[in-house]
Amino acid sequence: MSNKLLYIETFGCQMNVNDSERIVSLLADIGYESTTNPAVADMLLLNTCSVRGGAEEKVYNRLANLRIYKRDGKKQIIAVGGCVAQQEGEELLRRLPYVDLVVGTHNLHLLQEMVQAAELGERRSETAFIDKEQRLDLFPSIKGESRLSRFVTVMQGCDNFCSYCIVPYVRGREISRRSADILHEVRQLADDGVREVILLGQNVNSYGLKGESDVSFAKLIRQVAQIDNIERIRFTTSHPKDMSDELIDCFADVSKLSGQIHLPAQSGSDYVLGQMGRGYTRHSYLDKIAKLRSVRPEIAITGDIIVGFPGESDADFEETLSLMEAVCYIDLFSFVYSPRPGTKAASLSDDVSREAKKNRLDRLMALQRQHTGEICSRLVGSVMPVLVEGEGKLPGQVSGKADNGRIVNFAGDVSLIGSFVDVKIVKAYPNSFLGER
């Protein structure tokens, strides 16, 4: 029997990228192979994100576009997964008669039977949240090709309810996996040739805080670091309020821990941070950064900032710019605030004008370009270990990631793929480095 073809589009965060890998692996078990061509696919799946405004319309528009492939009487399954699926549920089936299947964020374990039913013409939506205890056994492990760097989910969900954020509503309550299961998975990955693991969670450093786990996140990192052949450990995304001293200490003495951390501040103004319900102040955020730098002076810090939150004044925005000056991020993801349905902030008046939002975003991005440029040019001349992951941009080059998370291209043979190589940085580009051995 020839294989059926699956075309999948992924939006949003690394959680979704990881879920898409799980989907590909689950559907491989029932005979689906991946294709990048929607026209020939037997099944089209959108793995969606609803974290920012306009997400729902985008999904409805994209589905309308995908529908053209279903014409000519071709039997093609159209499926929606991820956060918009969770949010809209049955509504997607009601509004779009050509959608066959809607699978929520807690329901991937039902996907195989849903697809098999859809092949027989059934239309179904599954978006019930699963309670914590049951969910522990529902982290499907990813089979598939071994690669050098892999995500390992250690926790899911979020209990923080930051006032602007839809995540707790679409991903559900926080749950941490048992450390023994995580370590077992990492050992297997190491045996399959994986050299770097990225510990993944919506709020990864609150791992274990809810009493479901036997160890703290810092201890988990130390245990992962004991595993032979795992050479580098990263984790994402961290919440500043859960950045404990115990975790910061890992950067002092766990040499496998990567020298990069994503620590979203969201704003530099205490008033706005309070309105956002972030649970830390500008001062305590900068204090954590200082502690991180005291144990790892060269640590590369990335972050997220929202501009134009309700009530953000010019003075509040200036505080954000001054926070950026104090931290000096190597990279920053910046977003214009948009109200999300059901969140606390959605009931506040969205009172920062569009012009002011745009102007603030432009100023912030210009400052960030300057900081990225300064940090990266300072690194020219230094030598860093690079995990070589594939061929480079130009013929004769290979490419990999430095300890600070930046891509480095350098002249080298493909036989280097899979190893750590010391590379001297010779030139800094906006998004990568050129190096030489």
Binding site for ligand SF4 (CB under 6 A): 158, 160-162, 165, 167-168, 202-203, 239
The token pair at 72 is: 């000519």
Residues that bind ligand 5AD (CB under 6 A): 51-52, 164-165, 264, 266, 304, 306, 335, 337-338, 340
Q: Give the shortest CB-346-to-ligand SF4 separation in angstroms.
A: 13
Q: Give the shortest CB-338-to-ligand 5AD separation in angstroms.
A: 5
C-beta closer to ligand 5AD: residue 52 or 187: 52
Q: Which residues contact 132 (CB under 8 A, 6 or more apart)?
A: 173, 175, 212
Binds 206: which of ligand SF4, ligand 5AD, none (CB < 5-8 Å by kind):
none
| Burial bucket for residue 121 (CB in 10 Å: 0-12, 13-18, 19+) | exposed
266: which DSSP letter? B
C-beta closer to ligand 5AD: residue 52 or 173: 52
Binds 236: which of ligand SF4, ligand 5AD, none (CB < 5-8 Å by kind):
none
User: Rounded to whole angstroms, what are the CA distances from 157 to 122, 175, 273, 344?
Assistant: 30, 6, 21, 18
d(CA 91, CA 62): 16
Q: Which residues contact 100 (CB under 8 A, 6 or more apart)?
A: 77, 78, 79, 118, 122, 123, 124
Binds 340: which of ligand 5AD, ligand SF4, none (CB < 5-8 Å by kind):
ligand 5AD
Binds 335: which of ligand SF4, ligand 5AD, none (CB < 5-8 Å by kind):
ligand 5AD
C-beta closer to ligand SF4: residue 202 or 269: 202
Q: Give the shortest CB-282-to-ligand 5AD separation in angstroms.
A: 16
Pseudo-torsion of CA 288, 292, 297, 301, nearest 10°? -80
- Beta-bridge partner residues of 235: 199
Binds 55: which of ligand SF4, ligand 5AD, none (CB < 5-8 Å by kind):
none
Binds 160: which of ligand 5AD, ligand SF4, none (CB < 5-8 Å by kind):
ligand SF4
Binds 337: which of ligand 5AD, ligand SF4, none (CB < 5-8 Å by kind):
ligand 5AD
C-beta closer to ligand SF4: residue 24 or 306: 306
C-beta closer to ligand 5AD: residue 28 or 348: 348
Q: Give the shortest CB-312-to-ligand 5AD separation in angstroms.
A: 12
C-beta closer to ligand 5AD: residue 51 or 375: 51
| Burial bucket for residue 63 (CB in 10 Å: 0-12, 13-18, 19+) | buried
Sheet strands (E) in 155-215: 155-156, 175-176, 196-200
C-beta closer to ligand SF4: residue 251 or 280: 280
Instruction: Report whether 141 contacts 185 (CB < 8 A).
Output: yes
- Beta-bridge partner residues of 232: 196
C-beta closer to ligand SF4: residue 158 or 190: 158
**Sequential DSSP letters for 359-410:** HHHHHHHHHHHHHHHHHHHHHTT-EEEEEEEEE-SSTTEEEEEETTS-EEEE
Q: Which of 266, 287, 288, 290 is nearest to 278 (CA)?
A: 266
Q: Give the shortest CB-260-to-ligand 5AD separation in angstroms.
A: 17
| SS3 (DSSP) at 299 | coil
d(CA 266, CA 162): 10
Q: Give the shortest CB-284-to-ligand 5AD separation in angstroms.
A: 18
Instruction: Report whether 231 contacts 256 (CB < 8 A).
Output: yes
C-beta closer to ligand SF4: residue 236 or 258: 236
Binds 323: which of ligand SF4, ligand 5AD, none (CB < 5-8 Å by kind):
none
Binds 203: which of ligand SF4, ligand 5AD, none (CB < 5-8 Å by kind):
ligand SF4
